[in-house]
Amino acid sequence: MEPLKLCPFCGGKARSEITVSDATAWCINCKARVVFRHSDRNFEDGLPRAVAAWNQRARADFMEIPDTPKSDLEKAQDENPNHL
User: Which residue type is seen at 59?
Assistant: R
Contact 2, 49 (CB under 8 A): no
In order along its 84 residues, the chain shows pLDDT tens digits of: 789 999 999 999 999 999 888 899 999 999 999 998 876 666 677 888 899 999 998 766 655 666 777 777 777 777 877 765
Contact 38, 21 (CB under 8 A): yes
pTM of the model: 0.63
Which of 12, 56, 45, 3 lies closest to 31, judged by CA? 12
